């Protein structure tokens, strides 16, 4: 079995070909980081235009790497939720066109489920049931995962996502986009205890949600003082910036680790799987590993190359193929989070 998977949910255009054993036969990612850098974040219209330019070359190169033609595929899969509407439409349109041309079945992928499935691809161990934690630029979400395509939402962010607030704080500190790597690098020389930033919702174990907007405001006040309109760190020394970066990073990570542990305890599960771009953060990995040792749970974090958006994690389409979950060519995109992840293909 060979499946072509397509990913275009945000600012990476990606494709991969995987076989029934989750072997990656070909994989290509075209990043848009350089395009969006001058704007300090992803501009949806620019992202969709870039996808339009890249999608066919990326698919072509992937197929060439895999040494397979369209006729040699068993199905074509595409992420259709959640994400930027215009970006999703480019990937879905390409997938539908290829299915129509080659007479192949179409499979819908839930982007967030795929982030967790990246752990299954990387470690080749039985992970389910587990708690799934997705931490990315657009999402901070907890799921109870009974199986690879059986997800129950436990809680998500009620405002900014973790990656989003990293980008915003980096901008305040005058650091380059993307904010995650910039904050991490600056924090290496900082004191994580220098500023007592809040850990929102951390001490409420009954609410498995995240909130980072208040933390973002606290960082702003640390930079400029309350009531000031200027949100940029113009007068701060390099050490002050490093201390703010380290203290902020520690606060975000404490929230992510704390809520994941609360979810494991509440649902009496012993396995935690983590995916998403923020999961590449070195300090986060240190603290979640320490928590795994302290609370005795199995921990699987997607390798750094599979944390950011990619099509290899689209290997979750193998599970939908085995379950006979195929879609008609009137499949639509669902840009926002949906209550039931299975609506991705309904």
What is the residue extent of each domain of the chain?
Answer: 2-115+307-345, 127-306
Four-point Cα dihedral 200, 203, 209, 210, nearest 10:
20
The architecture in CATH of the region 127-306 reads 2-Layer Sandwich (3.30)
CA distances from 268 to 208, 210, 296, 318 (A): 14, 20, 12, 28
- pTM across the whole model: 0.92
What would the pLDDT profile of 171-207 be if each residue is shown by its tens digit?
Answer: 999 999 999 999 999 999 999 999 999 999 999 988 9
For position 225, what pLDDT does the model report? 75
Q: From CA 252, how far away is CA 328, in angstroms rounded?
A: 41
C-alpha triplet 126, 127, 130: angle, nearest 5°: 150
Determine whether domain 2-115+307-345 maps to CATH 3.40.50.300: no
Cβ atoms 195, 69 nearer than 8 A: no
Cβ atoms within 10 Å, residue 48: 18
Q: Which residue has the higher pLDDT, 344 or 142?
A: 142
Per-residue pLDDT tens digits for 77-127: 999 999 999 999 999 999 999 999 999 999 999 999 999 999 999 998 899
226 burial class (0-12, 13-18, 19+ CB within 10 angstroms)? Answer: exposed
Residue 137 has pLDDT above 70, yes or no: yes
- What tokens were used for 103? 């007479």
Same fold, 2-115+307-345 and 127-306: yes
pLDDT of residue 337: 60
- More confidently predicted of 204 and 298: 298
Look at 48-52, 283-287, 338-342 and tell me which has the smallest mean pLDDT: 338-342
Say how far apart CA 290 and CA 156 lie, in whole Å. Answer: 23
CA distance 326 to 346: 10
């Amino acid at each position: 079995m060979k499946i072509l998977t397509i990913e275009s949910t945000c600012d990476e255009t990606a494709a991969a070909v995987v076989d029934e054993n989750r072997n990656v036969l070909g994989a290509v990612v075209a990043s848009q980081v350089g395009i969006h850098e001058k704007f300090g974040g992803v501009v949806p219209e620019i992202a969709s235009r870039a996808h339009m330019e890249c999608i066919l070359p990326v698919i072509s190169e992937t197929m060439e790497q895999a040494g397979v033609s369209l006729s040699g595929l068993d199905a074509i899969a595409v992420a259709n939720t959640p994400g930027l509407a215009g970006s999703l439409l480019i990937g879905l349109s390409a997938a539908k066109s290829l299915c129509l041309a080659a007479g192949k079945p179409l499979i819908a992928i839930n982007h967030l489920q795929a982030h967790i499935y990246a752990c299954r691809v990387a470690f080749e161990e039985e992970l389910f049931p587990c708690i799934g934690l997705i931490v990315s630029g657009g999402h901070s979400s907890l799921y109870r995962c009974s199986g690879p395509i059986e997800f129950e939402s436990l809680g998500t962010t009620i405002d900014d996502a973790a990656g989003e607030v990293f980008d915003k704080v980096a901008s305040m500190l005058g650091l380059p986009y993307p904010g995650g790597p910039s904050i991490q690098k600056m924090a290496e020389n900082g004191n994580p205890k220098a500023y007592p930033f809040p850990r929102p919702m951390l001490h409420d174990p009954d609410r498995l949600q995240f909130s980072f907007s208040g933390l973002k405001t606290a960082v702003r006040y640390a930079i400029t003082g309350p009531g000031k309109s200027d949100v940029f760190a113009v007068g701060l020394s390099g050490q002050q910036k490093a201390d703010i970066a380290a203290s902020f990073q520690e606060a975000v990570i404490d929230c992510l680790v704390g809520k994941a542990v609360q979810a494991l305890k509440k649902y009496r599960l012993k396995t935690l799987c983590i995916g998403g771009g923020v999961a590449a953060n070195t300090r986060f990995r240190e603290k979640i590993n320490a928590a795994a040792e302290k609370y005795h749970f199995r921990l699987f974090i997607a390798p750094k190359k599979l944390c950011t958006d990619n099509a290899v994690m689209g290997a979750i389409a193998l599970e939908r193929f085995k379950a006979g979950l195929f879609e008609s060519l009137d499949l639509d995109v669902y840009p926002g989070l949906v209550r039931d992840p299975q609506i991705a293909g309904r």
